[in-house]
Amino acid sequence: MEKYKELADFSSKYSNIVIALGMFDGVHIGHQEIIRTAVAKAQEINGAALVFSFSNHPRSIIAPNAVPHRIASGAIRFCVLKNLGVNALVEIPFTADFAETGAADFIGLLQRHFSPKYIVVGENYTFGRGGHGTPTLLRDSAVTYGFQVIVCQSVMRDGAPVSSTRIRALIANGDLSKVNEYLGYPFTINGTVIHGQERGRRLGFPTANLALREEFEHLPNGVYAVSVFYQGRLYHAAANIGNNPTFDGCDRRLEVHIMEFSGDLYDEELMISFYKKIRDEQCFSSIDDLIRQIADDKETVEHIFDKSFRLQENISMVI
């Protein structure tokens, strides 16, 4: 899948373009319905499926004090879209100038740069200054511009549409089972390994430490069964989100003990997928108590993966 960071004459690069429009934060199962529809239509007309989105949330310009936390990084979004069969992602910055683009001008922009045969959107999609553009306006413009519009109905779960807003709330509340159900893949973060205090190594359980970036939604503190994808291989692991209260605390971070792995991971990029919470973070009265609990956590993780999950199948969407 190709990725473009600015607009160009895509109609000269791709024929019979089917374009999916949306922010697609997290690319949850509702977004996947839109993307799969676009990919299927592109295959039907021997064309190309393109996604047009933004690298930053529009609210970062329109309402900076109300920017939602992101569910997934750009790298994870890229992987999911690629695995869904998208041919190209056009991901441009949303700027103050772009925010002034009216709905009609936005449709003209799509025509100039993509000349699409089909435009695929969700039923709640809005566009243009003030969000005045709607699927109805797209349909009204279809004859003029020579494209057709496909509007996908929302995917419902538990009596309400699946949305990024609902998923953010579920992540914050620690409902990992629902998060993974609504995403259609395990909640995943990626990051670079940083230096820690090397306490885990001294205890016999070395950990890879990752900073938790403020702009992303994070699960509550605790210990989780996770997988780690590194250099083309998947590993079982136990991960702790928290502040290390047994050792007077530290900055909140993610620490991952990767099983059946040895080696230097500093400055390496890891992809970590969360499957199940094992326990809350605890402050232990002694180092020996902590060591015993970590050993129990490792055993619990192995039991979870052996009995409950097929690792490759569950993570195939994001690698």
Q: How would you write the pLDDT of the chain (319 residues) with one tens digit per residue? A: 999 999 999 999 999 999 999 999 999 999 999 999 999 999 999 999 999 999 999 999 999 999 999 999 999 999 999 999 999 999 999 999 999 999 999 999 999 999 999 999 999 999 999 999 999 999 999 999 999 999 999 999 999 999 999 999 999 999 999 999 999 999 999 999 988 665 555 555 788 999 999 899 999 999 999 999 999 999 999 999 987 755 565 678 899 999 988 888 989 999 999 999 999 887 776 777 888 888 899 899 988 887 655 555 567 788 7
- Both 127 and 196 in a single domain? no
* pLDDT confidence of residue 272: 96
Last residue of a domain, which of 160, 177, 200? 160
- Both 151 and 237 in a single domain? no
SS3 151: strand
What is 82-108 written as a DSSP string? HHTT-SEEEEE---HHHHT--HHHHHH
- Both 37 and 112 in a single domain? yes
Is residue 179 one of the residues assigned to a domain?
A: no
Number of helices (H), then strands (E), belonging to the chain: the values are 11, 14
Is residue 76 one of the residues assigned to a domain?
A: yes
- Both 146 and 20 in a single domain? yes
Q: How far apart are CA 271 and CA 318, in angstroms?
A: 9
Would you say the pTM of this structure is higher than 0.75?
yes
CATH number at residue 292: 2.40.30.30
| Dihedral sign of CA atoms 173, 174, 180, 185 in order | positive
* pLDDT confidence of residue 319: 78
**Length of the chain, in residues:** 319
- Both 13 and 151 in a single domain? yes
- Both 126 and 211 in a single domain? no
Q: How far apart are CA 176 and CA 276, in angstroms?
A: 7
Is residue 168 one of the residues assigned to a domain?
A: no
Task: Give the count of domains, the chain.
Answer: 2
Three-state SS string over the chain comes to CEEECCCCCHHHCCCCEEEEECCCCCCCHHHHHHHHHHHHHHHHCCCEEEEEEECCCCHHHHCHHHCCCECCCHHHHHHHHHHCCCCEEEEECCCHHHHCCCHHHHHHHHHHHHCCCEEEEECCCCECHHHCECHHHHHHHHHHHCCEEEEECCCEECCEECCHHHHHHHHHHCCHHHHHHHHCCCCEEEEEEECCCCHHHHHCCCCEEEECCCCECCCCCEEEEEEEEECCEEEEEEEEEECCHHHCCCCCEEEEEECCCCCCCCCCEEEEEEEEEEECCCCCCCHHHHHHHHHHHHHHHHHHHHHHCCHHHHHCCCC
Q: What are phi and psi of 192, to 5 degrees?
A: -100, 135
- Both 112 and 65 in a single domain? yes
- Both 37 and 133 in a single domain? yes
Last residue of a domain, which of 127, 160, 193? 160
Is residue 96 one of the residues assigned to a domain?
A: yes
Is residue 167 one of the residues assigned to a domain?
A: no
Is residue 171 one of the residues assigned to a domain?
A: no
- Both 139 and 202 in a single domain? no
- Both 45 and 106 in a single domain? yes
Q: Which of 90, 78, 99 is nearest to 54 (CA)?
A: 90
Is residue 289 one of the residues assigned to a domain?
A: yes
Is residue 174 one of the residues assigned to a domain?
A: no
| Dihedral sign of CA atoms 62, 63, 64, 68 in order | negative
- Both 83 and 139 in a single domain? yes
- Strand 118-122 relative to strand 148-152: parallel, antiparallel, unpaired? parallel
- Both 189 and 297 in a single domain? yes
CA 185 to chain centre: 10
CATH number at residue 50: 3.40.50.620
Q: How far apart are CA 5 and CA 52, in angstroms?
A: 10
Tell me the residue range of the domain where 45 lies: 2-160
Last residue of a domain, which of 124, 145, 160? 160
